[in-house]
């Protein structure tokens, strides 16, 4: 682009010079013509026409010669300028090419230096990154090893801690299926006898009796037997302590702890080539499991007895209500009958308005007497029908949350009394009634609901707790399957609970921090 620009600039300069000289030539010709005209006018009166013509021709020749000379001079000058311009252009072109080449070389050198520096920097940084990655991998490996060790240590420590940690509970699966606690007790005695037989027969441990002490095999065997007794005493002592400390919330931990103690004691016996057999460990684990399940079964039987006692108390209370209702109805019936008889005697003597008044009074007394008789009959009927009662569906949003319902039954004449008893001081809020279903066989209807919703129990362990995580729509569907049309109260009033929420908003609810264990303080990966 620079060479083309210089070339066109040169052409423009040459053109400008030619135009300039042509204009000068034209000016001189104009001057010559002016002089010729002036001379012609000056000498016109003195010379003849021929002379004048000759002079003019001579002057024209002179002017022509001067013009030609001047034009030739201009041409030579233009040629000289053209040659100088071409020489200058060639020189400038050469310099331009040289300068361009120099700049190009410098650019290439600069780019090369930058590329070299860049490559050196990249290489250096890649080496640094590689070194850092290697160090990071080593640190990560050490961290994971340390975290694994911490987890293992925390687990071992937890085996010997008595604190209740709900997040570490294991789900215990029963190993025995006996119907009564006595069967568990008999099996436990049997297991303990098997353990004693293994110890007495020497089959509880594996040992090398080939040791000698001071060259004596008898002393070596004696020392080995002493170590066997020591190891078994230590293991049995730990197992007995664990069996005694076993509770519902640590059974799985105790199983792991017993296995850990078994491994630790066997490691101590490695030097003397003595180890407790896994068969003996199995018997001790069974003893632990049987003890736990035996206590559980006793608890279940106690719960059953408590349920029966509660049922008996409820029946007795209902019976007392029936008897009281029958007595009250009989007393009312007797009272109304006496009043009715007295009114009829008085009516025989009454006349006029007094007679009309007595007739109306007799009709009222007869109606009340009939109502008392019906009430007595209902009480008698209820007392005779030992299965008649009410199945209630109630909720306590403030205590148990939404969609948690208690489904139970009562045989009382006023079922609301039973609901009020349930909402006593044991829960912070009273219960709301969603449905009260009258049935001639209330226990059977209650069992129907419980069986259908068995997997939705809030307490899946203790079936005496009659709370279910379910919606009212599902309960309604169950009633429809039985061919019953029951009106349910959809919305729980929960007045005290809802007013407490509004009150708490005024105070400002405290924020609770999540509980973290020691291992959670360290991330799984760096």
Residue 118 lies in a domain: yes
Residue 526 lies in a domain: no
Give the residue-averaged pLDDT of 478-489: 88
pLDDT-based confidence at 170, cuts 50/70/90?
A: very low
- DSSP conformation class of 391: E
Nearest to 432 by CA among 490, 369, 350: 490
- Joined together, the tokens standing for residue 43 give 């000498």
> How confident is the model over 390-447, as pLDDT tens digits?
899 999 999 999 999 999 988 777 788 888 888 876 889 999 999 999 888 888 999 9
Q: What is the pLDDT, as a whole number, of residue 165?
A: 41
Final residue before a domain boundary, out of 292, 309, 326: 309
Residues 235 and 279 in one domain: yes
Residues 238 and 275 in one domain: yes
Instruction: List all residues 6 or more positions away from 492 whose beta carbon is below 8 Å from its beta carbon.
Output: 395, 397, 432, 434
* H or E, element range at 389: strand 389-395
Lowest mean pLDDT among 287-301, 357-371, 417-431, 494-508: 357-371
Question: How many domains does the chain divide into?
Answer: 3
Q: What is the pLDDT, as a whole number, of residue 515?
A: 46
Burial (CB count <10 Å: 0-12, 13-18, 19+), residue 510: exposed
Q: What is the pLDDT, as a whole number, of residue 166?
A: 36
Q: How many CB atoms lie within 10 A of CB 228?
A: 21
SS3 of residue 17 by DSSP: helix
Give the residue-averaged pLDDT of 351-361: 69
Nearest to 243 by CA among 258, 229, 261, 226: 258
Q: What is the pLDDT, as a whole number, of residue 519?
A: 56
Beta bridge partners of 390: 410, 438
CB 384 within 8 A of CB 318: no
Residues 192 and 93 in one domain: no
Final residue before a domain boundary, out of 309, 328, 343: 309
431: alpha, beta or left? (left if phi > 0; alpha if psi -120 to 50): beta
Residues 195 and 272 in one domain: yes
- Domain containing 125 equals 60-156
Q: What is the pLDDT, as a whole number, of residue 59?
A: 75
Residue 18 lies in a domain: no
Helices then strands, counting H and E runs in the chain, come out as 12, 6
Residues 219 and 271 in one domain: yes
- Joined together, the tokens standing for residue 70 give 């001047």
Answer yes or no: is pLDDT of 357 > 90.
no
Residues 431 and 498 in one domain: yes
């Amino acid at each position: 682009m620079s060479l083309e620009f210089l070339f066109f600039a040169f052409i423009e300069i040459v053109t400008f010079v030619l135009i300039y000289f042509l204009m000068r030539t034209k000016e001189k010709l104009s001057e010559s013509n002016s002089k010729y005209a002036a001379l012609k006018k000056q000498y016109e009166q003195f010379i003849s026409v021929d002379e004048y013509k000759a002079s003019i021709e001579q002057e024209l020749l002179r002017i022509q010669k001067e013009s030609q000379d001047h034009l030739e001079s201009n041409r030579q000058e233009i040629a000289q300028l053209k040659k100088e311009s071409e020489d200058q252009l060639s020189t400038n072109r050469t310099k331009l090419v040289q300068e361009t080449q120099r700049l190009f070389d410098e650019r290439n050198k600069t780019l090369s230096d930058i590329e070299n520096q860049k490559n050196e920097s990249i290489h250096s940084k890649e080496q640094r990154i590689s070194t850092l990655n290697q160090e990071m991998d080593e640190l990560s490996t050490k961290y994971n090893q340390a975290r694994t060790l911490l987890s293992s240590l925390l687990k071992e420590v937890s085996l010997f801690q008595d604190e209740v940690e709900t997040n570490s509970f294991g789900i215990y699966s029963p190993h025995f299926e006996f119907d009564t606690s006595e069967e568990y007790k008999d099996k436990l005695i049997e297991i303990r006898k098997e353990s004693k037989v293994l110890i007495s027969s020497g089959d509880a441990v594996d040992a090398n009796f080939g040791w000698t002490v001071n060259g004596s095999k008898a002393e070596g065997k004696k020392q080995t037997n002493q170590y066997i007794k020591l190891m078994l005493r230590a293991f049995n002592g730990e197992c007995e302590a664990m069996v005694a400390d076993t509770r519902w919330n640590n059974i799985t931990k105790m199983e792991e702890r017993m296995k850990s103690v078994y491994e630790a004691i066997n490691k101590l016996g490695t030097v003397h080539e003595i180890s407790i057999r896994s068969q003996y460990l199995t018997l001790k684990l069974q003893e632990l499991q049987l003890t736990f399940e035996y206590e559980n079964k006793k608890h279940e039987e106690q719960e059953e007895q408590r349920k029966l006692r509660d049922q008996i108390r409820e029946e007795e209370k209902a019976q007392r209500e029936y008897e009281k209702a029958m007595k009250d109805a009989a007393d009312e019936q007797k009272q109304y009958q006496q009043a009715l008889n007295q009114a009829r005697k008085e009516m025989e003597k009454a006349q006029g308005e007094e007679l009309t008044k007595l007739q109306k009074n007799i009709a009222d007394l007869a109606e009340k007497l009939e109502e008392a008789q019906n009430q007595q009959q209902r009480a008698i009927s209820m007392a005779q029908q030992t299965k008649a009662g009410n199945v209630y569906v109630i909720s306590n949003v403030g205590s148990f949350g939404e969609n948690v319902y208690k489904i139970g039954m009562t045989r009382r004449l006023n079922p609301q009394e039973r609901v009020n008893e349930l909402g006593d001081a044991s829960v912070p809020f009273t219960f709301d009634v969603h449905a009260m279903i009258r049935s001639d066989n209330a226990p059977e209807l209650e069992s129907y609901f419980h069986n259908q919703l068995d997997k939705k129990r809030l307490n899946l362990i203790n079936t005496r707790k009659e709370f279910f995580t379910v919606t009212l729509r599902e309960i309604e569907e169950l009633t429809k399957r039985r061919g019953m049309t029951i009106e349910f109260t959809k919305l729980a009033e929960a007045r005290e609970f809802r007013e407490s929420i509004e009150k708490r908003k005024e105070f400002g609810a405290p924020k609770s921090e999540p509980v973290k264990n020691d291992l959670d303080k360290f991330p799984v990966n760096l």
